[in-house]
Structure 1
């Protein structure tokens, strides 16, 4: 897939992924309802997460410190590796989950605890119905844009909610799942509006577990 075929507005990764999921469904790359797609918010309590191989970085290794980031993971059939769709990444698009974790998350890299990342995994069909953003988080105290907004209309949830981004990006270690192999945890990601929060060393295992559902 050519990444240029997908809409991208810098610093609006949540809206980019929202539109990406819709396009994958519309183009037949994903299931029509998006049942094979999962939206993953990456952040932590301090809102400072290092990720590597990001296009916005000015460093050779592509590392950058985001307050949060959003990607899409697609479960594939036939035992193939799940795929990560990250429009902001300089890695192949899409990338196998294993290589994405290795090259972008870099779990082997020792971080101070303030930089440890958490992942909120939300089933795409739920996300597409429930997510909303009026972009208020991108305005300063005087109402001026911090970063230029996308050209399309703001995203309104099916129930009329106009903004709930903070409900997705706010996460804590205390709220993270301890054991991702428990059936109720795997079921929760298919039913809970805000999905489930897991720790960074659990991401691959959790995706593997839900791929068996």
Structure 2
């Protein structure tokens, strides 16, 4: 694989990637595909992870979002989806968020600090949870017929992407709800450390819906995942 400028955190034009507002899950699906096909990621996407952000109330505050009308860029999403790429040689993981006004891509630590803002005191209803799915699994298993974007009369709440709906390899036409339904009861309780990381990685690399972690575990998790 050719050396990618992204491994050195050089800004890449987000405009090179497909983006349909309010369809972040499909945007990330296509982004992963393009990163693989363009040689920016490994061909099978083994260095990519898809991360769904939500909670039981489906109310998650994220800062520096382009959709915001506020100076601080805060938006209260029901859910959001980003891509995290890990790099050879221990370089810091990077976040690709097509809805963010931060540099594209951003180092994970900067993204967490600026977008998640863990030091900002939130009511418990707004605590964010993260479902981490290995991209190769996601690209095989994810499906959406966009039913969640229609009202009771079948009209679109937001205009859909021009490309065809995504169908999973096994023929499943819609399982988005399984990805965005995230509960703290399903989150990893124990600290992610040298004793537990093996089982956590096994789950991420093999489970259709990955693992659910709390926001204070995101950086900890990716500091212990490496390309082997």
Residue segments in structure 2 that go unaligned for 5+ positions in a row = 1-11
The aligned residue for residue 74 of structure 1 is: 85
1:123 and 2:122 correspond: no
The aligned residue for residue 37 of structure 1 is: 48
Aligned residues: 213
The aligned residue for residue 215 of structure 2 is: 200
Which has the larger displacement, 73-82 or 141-150? 73-82
1:191 and 2:202 correspond: no
1:175 and 2:175 correspond: no
Query: Could you give the per-residue CA deviations for residues 68-91 of structure 1, whole angstroms, max 9, x where no partner exists?
Result: 000000001122110100000000
Q: Is the 8 A contact 1:186 1:209 kept in 2?
A: no
Offset, 1:212: 6.5
Query: Could you give the per-residue CA deviations for residues 158-194 of structure 1, whole angstroms, max 9, x where no partner exists?
Result: 0000000000000111110112331211211001000
Q: Which runs of 4+ in 1 moved over 6 A?
A: none
Decide which of 162, 168, 172 is 1:151's aligned counterpart.
162
Decide which of 51, 57, 76 is 2:62's aligned counterpart.
51
**Taking structure 2 as the reference length, what is the TM-score of the superposition?**
0.92
Query: Could you give the per-residue CA deviations for residues 33-61 of structure 1, whole angstroms, max 9, x where no partner exists?
Result: 00000000000000000000000000000
**In structure 2, C-alpha distance between the alignment counterparts of 1:102 and 1:76, rounded to whole Å:** 20
RMSD of aligned C-alpha atoms?
Answer: 0.8
Query: Could you give the per-residue CA deviations for residues 133-178 of structure 1, whole angstroms, max 9, x where no partner exists?
Result: 0000000000000000000000000000000000000011111011
The aligned residue for residue 32 of structure 2 is: 21
1:211 and 2:226 correspond: yes
Q: Is the 8 A contact 2:87 2:227 kept in 1?
A: no
Q: Is the 8 A contact 1:41 1:121 kept in 2?
A: yes
Query: Could you give the per-residue CA deviations for residues 97-155 of structure 1, whole angstroms, max 9, x where no partner exists?
Result: 00000000000000000000000000000000000000000000000000000000000
1:162 and 2:173 correspond: yes
Q: Is the 8 A contact 2:88 2:227 kept in 1?
A: no
The aligned residue for residue 7 of structure 2 is: none
**Taking structure 1 as the reference length, what is the TM-score of the superposition?**
0.98
**In structure 2, C-alpha distance between the alignment counterparts of 1:86 and 1:76, rounded to whole Å:** 17
Q: Is the 8 A contact 1:120 1:197 kept in 2?
A: yes
Decide which of 3, 18, 42 is 1:7's aligned counterpart.
18
